[in-house]
Amino acid sequence: LFAAGQPARIDAASHAVAGYMADLITAKRRAPDDSLLSDLIRARDGEDRLSEDELVSLAVLILVAGHETTTNLIGNGLLALLRTPDSLHRLRDEPDLVDAAVDELLRFDSPVSMATFRFATEAISLGGTEIPAGSPVLIAPGAANRDPARFPDPDRLDLERDAKGHLVFGHGIHRCLGAPLARAEGEIAFRRIVTRFPRLRLAVPSAELQWRHTRLMRGLEALPVLP
């Protein structure tokens, strides 16, 4: 779905996942259960309810938005820790620091480098660039997360810093629906990894690591480690 520069592959994957979800919705309509999908099928706002297309698109969004992101939070965050062993050992010795560390790991190398498209509702001048009304705007929250005016010495991983002001989950009305779940998953994963594998280290030189060629997401092809 995120294969950059391969529109035919993205198109085929989009249709496949939408088809899968439409079939699942049909099955849940017949046999409702206590799943989120059944709740969405049942949801009413007065006389209004979600159309079939809205249901498919919302369910696919939640499925996809919840997977690639958290996977890469764990991969990118772990890589940042493996590259700064002091931080890794600090967490191993004081696992209760993990909660606050998750925000710094998110800020330092976010799994989502770009937000989704916006369209300017009126002409605006931003940072010296004129944006005409109606033009698409692609924002890179990853850049804001390395803004030295907000995060001094931003290219340094610093588990002590207060990183809570990051924009990893977006901002405003479309802020990430799954942010608390993602933070919880990250916290559990990092806590378990650092305590269960106290001598964890990279199995290859970090220059050999391959980053995936994707739009929107940022993550590794693989993170080989030695226990």
Binding site for ligand HEM (CB under 6 A): 61-62, 65-66, 69-70, 73, 110-112, 115-116, 168-170, 174, 176-178, 181-182
With respect to ligand HEM, which residue has the nearer C-beta, 67 or 89?
67
Are the beta carbons of 102 and 175 closer than 8 angstroms? no
DSSP string, 138-188: ---HHHHTT-TTTSSSTTS--TTS--TT--TT--GGG--TTHHHHHHHHHH
H or E stretch covering 129: strand 129-131
| Identity at 17, one-letter amino acid code | V
Cβ at position 73, least distance to ligand HEM in Å: 4
With respect to ligand HEM, which residue has the nearer C-beta, 48 or 208?
48
Q: CA–CA separation, 215 vs 185, rounded Å?
A: 23
With respect to ligand HEM, which residue has the nearer C-beta, 174 or 201?
174
Cβ at position 226, least distance to ligand HEM in Å: 26
- Residue nearest to ligand HEM according to CB distances in the complex: 178
Residues 6+ apart with CB under 8 A from 55: 25, 40, 41
Cβ at position 90, least distance to ligand HEM in Å: 22
Q: CA–CA separation, 154 vs 146, rounded Å?
A: 5
With respect to ligand HEM, which residue has the nearer C-beta, 137 or 226?
137
Whole-angstrom CA distances from 86 to 80, 191, 220 are 11, 16, 22
With respect to ligand HEM, which residue has the nearer C-beta, 151 or 169?
169
CA angle (168, 5, 225) in 5-degree steps: 55
Q: CA–CA separation, 225 vs 219, rounded Å?
A: 16
With respect to ligand HEM, which residue has the nearer C-beta, 89 or 164?
164
List phi, psi (to 5°) of 109.
-150, 85
Cβ at position 57, least distance to ligand HEM in Å: 11
Cβ at position 20, least distance to ligand HEM in Å: 17
Cβ at position 170, least distance to ligand HEM in Å: 3
